[in-house]
Amino acid sequence: MKRILLLSILIISGLTYATAQCSQCTPINCAAQKPAGGLCNSMPDDTAGQPYDATISFYMPHTLTDANTLAQCGCSSVTLRKITVVGIQGLPTGITYTISQGGVYDVAAGDTLGCVHFCGTPVAPGVYYVIVNLLADVTANGIPVLGSVDANGQIQQYRDTIEIFPGVSECPNTFALGSGGVCITKACDSLSVDLDATLTNTNCPSLISYTWDYGNGGTGNTKTPGVINYNTPDTFPITLTTTYYTYRIKTVTVHVTGGYTGDVEELFGSFDPEPYIRVDALNFNNTGGSSGRDKTFSNLDLVIPGGDCANQVAIQVWDEDTGPPQHTNPAGSQDDLINTHLITPSVPNQVHSGMNNSSIDVTFDTVAYTSVNETIDIIVFPHPPLPVIVVAADSICNGDSTTLSLGSLPGYSINWYLNDTTELTTSDSTIFVKAAGVYTAKITNVETGCSEFSAPVNVAVGVAPPSTVNILFNGTSLFVTPFPATGFSVDWFYNGNLVAGQHGKFLGYLGGGLYEAEVYNTNFPACRTTVNPNTITGINDITDNSVYGINVYPNPNNGRFNLRFTSEKNNDVTIGVRNLVGQLVYEKKLNGFTGDFNEELNLSDLGKGVYIVNVETPTTKQNTKVVVQ
């Protein structure tokens, strides 16, 4: 969040960095619309941080006859002879100007139009009251008794208002957060900024100050504090107050030695002058004082506009009399301009100026006149919790799946990755996976954008044995078939009991009875197949492997299922289905069958339960279980 406040201290005065940055302008003619003179158009409003470019024209009529002007002079008309623009006050910080013709207009010679080109980038929002100060040389015509009277250096003002609206950028206008325009105000875990104030006082570089509050308990008062680190989650308001100063005339001491004698009202007195000073650029004079050659004028507090802080200020020493145009005594004489002293402001020492008829000593101090206060919030977000993947089984068989779960994570989005490079399409907190590899998860806070990765989880996938394996008997040993070449082992069971220490393909004959087995991947014991059992009644109950691959599917089923097997030679095959009590519920004979058998058996009229499917030839007998639901 960004906050900017403009403080005008003591006076409303614009900061004019330099009055030659804008291009020259051409005035528009508004004589018909403004017959009494004045501004032809108004200054447009703008937004802080956005470029500003506007030209304001004004009209200066040669003759003024409007009622307001005539009431001030008690005359029949006023003739404008010359206008001099001495300064512009109240401009928004960051805007400068250029005046046509240098601000000097010979109205008597027809020079009645002028303009000011304003340009720059306003820094702070607010309503600004812009004042154009000028001096007018005029002639008041038709004054009773006196007729026409010339008056030079009459102070006049044109006024306008401009509003600067707040900008929309989160980046500051009065300072930088990093070099090269880097502007990062929000981050996770920590954030470092490289602070540098961007406003300067071009005219008077020393008349500016910077006051920083870093928002973390630290403060500073240099233009470039450098790198400031924010290492804990919180909101840190960085505030910079940039204060502009200008010179202020405090005291003027006048010593008059001449240039005033011959005034009518002083012929019969002490012949001492009645000195006063005029500072036309500051709209100041202090007439009405007592007589004397030496006078000190204290507590003047005349603030020089910020844009003029480097310029000489003209302080005029006058002798006050009683006649027009300054006064009303028709028998008196006009005031005498003794000298005009051009003074360059300086502190802390007194500035002296000596001329033929007078000398002055001026004491200056400095005063803050405009302060721009801007605050930017630096936000450091907390780190997300470390996500933990809970894996149901880290070793699975090919074709099977396992679950990876992060649990409940409200407010977070989830991304899953396989082997760091492949992003999975799911964003659920629990996923099912079948592929082998290293899985990681990234969680991201949907409000702050802060992310964290889980520790990797490895899922291994082992090769499963064939889905259908049979037990055959060769007269001396039992063996499983088909049996993979390497990497597999067998658990043998005889009459329901595990045969200890026997894990190979072959098992020596243990006598008549029920032989069962489970074939499994040696490295992935969970990857196993239950072998179709075989009951051996005696040593002559020899089986061969000419019929193999017995399989039923689907299993379980609703009573309708397919039976599949292969007979490699011409065999008389009997297919039988028995219930668990040994009753034959289905039988089919195939005489002289060779090849692949794959047909549907329909036992849907039988009840639900477990049935044994037998495939027999004169030399072999194989069976498998089927579940009817």
Q: What is the pLDDT of residues 23-82, one digit of tens each?
A: 999 999 998 988 888 888 888 988 887 899 999 999 999 998 888 777 777 788 889 999
Q: What was the pLDDT predicted at 145?
A: 65
Given its phi and psi angles, is residue 265 left (phi above 0), alpha (psi -120 to 50 degrees) or beta?
alpha
Q: Rank 342-351, 479-488, 586-595 by mean pLDDT and report only the highest.
A: 342-351
Distances in Å between the alpha carbon of 4 and those of 1, 122, 199?
Answer: 10, 12, 14
Is residue 65 within 8 Å of residue 42, measured between CB atoms? no
Confidence at 3, pLDDT banded by 50, 70, 90: very low
In this prediction, residues 329-348 reach a mean pLDDT of 87
- In one letter, which amino acid is 588? K
Q: Rank 66-75, 236-245, 317-326 by mean pLDDT and report only the highest.
A: 236-245
Q: If you average pLDDT over every residue of the chain, what do you get?
A: 87
Q: What was the pLDDT predicted at 15?
A: 33
Confidence at 582, pLDDT banded by 50, 70, 90: confident
In this prediction, residues 394-412 reach a mean pLDDT of 93
d(CA 275, CA 260) in angstroms, rounded, equals 9
Nearest to 208 by CA among 157, 180, 239, 174: 174
- In one letter, which amino acid is 593? F
Does residue 228 carry a pLDDT above 90? yes
pTM (2 d.p.): 0.62
Q: What was the pLDDT predicted at 124?
A: 75
The pair of structure tokens assigned to 319 is: 């002798």
- In one letter, which amino acid is 115? C
Number of residues written out for the chain = 629
Is residue 133 within 8 Å of residue 144, measured between CB atoms? no
Lowest pLDDT segment from 18-22, 456-460, 495-499, 615-619? 18-22
Lowest pLDDT segment from 116-130, 320-334, 483-497? 320-334
CA gyration radius, the chain? 52
Is residue 289 within 8 Å of residue 272, measured between CB atoms? no
Q: Apex CA 280: angle with CA 64 and CA 153, to 5°?
A: 35
Distances in Å between the alpha carbon of 328 and those of 73, 106, 180, 271, 282?
Answer: 11, 28, 66, 21, 25
Q: What was the pLDDT predicted at 24?
A: 93
Q: Apex CA 20: angle with CA 347 and CA 159, to 5°?
A: 80
What percentage of residues in the chain have a pLDDT greater than 70?
93
Confidence at 266, pLDDT banded by 50, 70, 90: low
Confidence at 263, pLDDT banded by 50, 70, 90: low
Confidence at 168, pLDDT banded by 50, 70, 90: low
Q: Rank 148-162, 286-300, 375-389 by mean pLDDT and report only the highest.
A: 375-389
In this prediction, residues 202-209 reach a mean pLDDT of 91
Is residue 65 within 8 Å of residue 71, measured between CB atoms? no
Is residue 367 exposed (0-12), middle (13-18) or buried (19+ Cβ within 10 Å)?
middle
In this prediction, residues 331-349 reach a mean pLDDT of 89
Q: What was the pLDDT predicted at 323?
A: 74
Q: What was the pLDDT predicted at 268?
A: 54
Q: What was the pLDDT predicted at 379?
A: 96
Q: What was the pLDDT predicted at 11?
A: 29
- Give the number of other CB atoms < 10 A from CB of residue 148: 13
d(CA 324, CA 331) in angstroms, rounded, equals 9
In this prediction, residues 339-345 reach a mean pLDDT of 96
The pair of structure tokens assigned to 484 is: 């993979």
Confidence at 590, pLDDT banded by 50, 70, 90: very high
H helix or E strand, kind and range, residue 117: strand 113-120
- Non-local CB neighbours of 586 within 8 Å, separated by 6+ positions: 575, 576, 577, 601, 603
Does residue 230 carry a pLDDT above 90? yes
Q: What was the pLDDT predicted at 264?
A: 58
Does residue 87 carry a pLDDT above 50? yes
d(CA 233, CA 229) in angstroms, rounded, equals 12
Nearest to 214 by CA among 175, 182, 252: 175
What percentage of residues in the chain have a pLDDT greater than 90?
52
Does residue 4 carry a pLDDT above 50? no
Does residue 449 carry a pLDDT above 90? yes
Does residue 265 carry a pLDDT above 70? no
Distances in Å between the alpha carbon of 451 and those of 109, 282, 387, 414?
Answer: 75, 61, 10, 10
Q: Which of the 8 DSSP states describes residue 107?
A: G
Nearest to 211 by CA among 172, 243, 255: 243
The pair of structure tokens assigned to 199 is: 């406003």
d(CA 407, CA 433) in angstroms, rounded, equals 16
d(CA 447, CA 429) in angstroms, rounded, equals 18
Distances in Å between the alpha carbon of 221 and those of 191, 211, 375?
Answer: 22, 5, 15
Q: Which residues pair with 365 in a beta bridge?
A: 248
The pair of structure tokens assigned to 541 is: 């109950």
d(CA 257, CA 612) in angstroms, rounded, equals 139
Confidence at 370, pLDDT banded by 50, 70, 90: confident
Q: What was the pLDDT predicted at 391?
A: 96
Confidence at 89, pLDDT banded by 50, 70, 90: confident
Does residue 564 carry a pLDDT above 50? yes
Does residue 603 carry a pLDDT above 80? yes
- Give the number of other CB atoms < 10 A from CB of residue 369: 26
Confidence at 17, pLDDT banded by 50, 70, 90: very low
Q: Which residues pair with 516 in a beta bridge?
A: 493
Helix, strand, coil abundance in the chain, percent, nearest 5: 5, 50, 45
Does residue 532 carry a pLDDT above 90? no
d(CA 575, CA 585) in angstroms, rounded, equals 11
> Which comes out higher in pLDDT, residue 333 or 389?
389
Beta strands in 191-330 (DSSP E): 191-197, 208-213, 219-220, 226-230, 234-256, 275-279, 284-285, 294-297, 302-303, 313-319
Query: What 3-state class would DSSP assign to 282?
Result: helix
Does residue 130 carry a pLDDT above 70? yes
Given its phi and psi angles, is residue 217 left (phi above 0), alpha (psi -120 to 50 degrees) or beta?
left
Confidence at 262, pLDDT banded by 50, 70, 90: low
Is residue 176 within 8 Å of residue 196, measured between CB atoms? yes
